[in-house]
Chain A
Amino acid sequence: MEISELKAELEKLHQTSFGWALSCCRHNRSEAEEVLQTVYLKILQGKAIYRGESKLQTWLFAVIRKTAATEHRKQVLRSLITLGSPVEKSSPQPELELEWSELQRRFRQALAGLPTRQRETLHLVFYQDLSVAEAAAVMNISIGSARRHYERGKKRLRESLDREGVDYGIQWRRKENSGVVL
């Protein structure tokens, strides 16, 4: 695929890619931006090459996930080398938290409480509208494992939301979002 052609495709996927990068970086915007930029750099340098073996989105998401993991590892290593202090946990900016609704805040908290694999699977299936098999390809795990993460994550998220007292069904209906069918 030519680089100009690839650029056009990447532009189409940019919004969803950023959403996935945010998820991989625990909703830290600056980190997600940096990761996405690094991914584009890798593509430009030819370090990440799309060979058409899977969907472009699946491939791109796998690259983003790997890059985010590498960046996180680098951060941990840097902090160990410099001061020996523990790594600051990535968290969303406080000014953003103020803008979120109560429902959103609780939902994000419930998501953050999930194990990484479960959170990633749920994100890929519900947010990115991928199948479980595609999610498995992005995460480089078997379909069986992905399905297990999906089921467990769903159960845990439901429990967590119930515990928080979020009647997400009712509250969601109040929102004027015509795109979602309940």
Chain B
Amino acid sequence: MEFSGDEKRIQALFSELSLEDQTRAPCFEKLWSRAEANTPAQASLVTRFVLVATVVVVAMSFVAVRSWLSSSQSQPVANIPAQIIPTTAGSRVQHSELAAASKIVARPRRFTRRQTERTAITQAAMLSNWQSPTNILLTSPTLSVLSSLPQLNQSARDLEQFLPKKNNELIKESKQ
């Protein structure tokens, strides 16, 4: 910076001041070594390491707990086979309910565990009530005969007609 007039004089006074100060300045090494002695370098390193290790352990345990919780929650959903959902008219209501229930279960993990369990119970109940769409094919005109059983108080003769015929009787009938 260029000075002129009074500025030069002021600068001269400051220069004298600076010369005076420089003669009294302490040794750099003295101050630096004193500062180094006061630096808790080792302690701070150990503290930092402990802090970092603690944070890592806490983070890992948190992730582990979260993953374990999510896996335990998603198990009921995984057990429901998708192909057994009925398509008959009678079971359409059940199908829609099941789909809704599945959606609820598939939502993010914000739902509580209790809600998940309730949904699983509902699904289990629906599955137990499920009927096959081809169930109607199993019905036949002889169903009433097949389904009726002889009563224990009927006569032995009546009971005999339900027994399988013996071979010699069959031969007799064929001869007649």
Q: Which residues of A contact B (CB under 8 A)?
A: 7, 10-11, 14-15, 18-19, 22, 29, 33, 36-38, 40-41, 43-45, 96, 100, 103-104, 107-108, 122-123, 125-127, 129-132, 154, 157-158, 168-169, 172, 175, 177, 179-182
Asked if B44 contacts A45 (CB within 8 A), the reply is yes
**In the bound complex, do residue B26 and residue A18 qualify as a contact, i.e. CB atoms below 8 Å apart?**
yes
Q: Which of A36, A100, A123 contacts B14 (CB 8 A)?
A: A123
Q: Provided the pairs A14-B25, A14-B28, A19-B22 are in contact, do residues A44 and B17 lie with their beta carbons within 8 angstroms? A: no
**Does any Cβ of A come within 8 Å of B65's Cβ?**
no
Q: Given the complex of chains A and B, what is the CA–CA distance between A126 and B13 in angstroms?
A: 9
Q: Do the beta carbons of A177 and B1 come within 8 Å of each other?
A: no
Cβ-based interface call for B24 (8 A) = yes
- On chain B, the residues within 8 Å of A172 by CB distance are 9, 12-13, 16
Query: Which A residue's beta carbon lies closest to that of B32?
Result: A40
- Distance in Å: Cβ of A154 to nearest Cβ of chain B: 7
Secondary structure type dominating chain A contacts: helix
Residues of B that sit less than 8 Å from A by CB: 1, 3, 6-22, 24-26, 28, 31-32, 34-36, 38-39, 41, 44
- CB contact between B32 and one of A7, A18, A107 (< 8 Å): that residue: A7
Q: A37-B31, A37-B34, A41-B39 are in contact. Are A177 and B17 (CB under 8 A)?
A: no
Chain B residue with minimal CB distance to A99? B20
| A19 to B36 alpha-carbon distance, docked (Å) | 22
* Contact between A182 and B12, CB atoms less than 8 A apart: yes
Tell me which residues across on chain B come within 8 A of A107, comparing CB atoms.
Answer: 13, 16-17
In contact, B26 and A182 (Cβ under 8 angstroms): no
A37→B35 contact, CB < 8 A: yes
Q: If the complex has contacts A10-B28, A45-B44, are A18 and B21 also in contact, measured as CB distance less than 8 A?
A: yes
Contact A104 B12 (CB under 8 A): no
13 of the cross-chain contacts (CB-CB < 8 Å) are A37-B35, A43-B35, A103-B16, A108-B17, A126-B14, A127-B15, A127-B18, A129-B1, A172-B9, A172-B12, A175-B16, A177-B15, A182-B12
Q: Given contacts A104-B17, A154-B7, list 14 more A-B pairs with CB under 8 A.
A: A14-B28, A18-B25, A22-B21, A29-B24, A33-B31, A38-B35, A45-B44, A104-B20, A108-B17, A131-B1, A172-B13, A177-B16, A179-B15, A180-B11
Nearest residue, chain A, Cβ from B19: A177
Whether B16 pairs with A11 at a CB distance below 8 angstroms is no
CB-CB under 8 A from A10, the residues of chain B are 28, 32
**Do residues B21 and A126 form an inter-chain contact, with CB atoms below 8 A?**
no
- CB <8 Å contact, B17 and A127: yes
Distance of A157 Cα from B19 Cα, bound (Å):
20
Q: Collect the chain A residues with CB atoms within 8 Å of residue B3's CB.
A: 126
**Chain A residues, CB < 8 A from B28:** 10-11, 14
Min Cβ gap B60→A in Å is 28
Residues of B within 8 A of A36 (CB): 26, 31
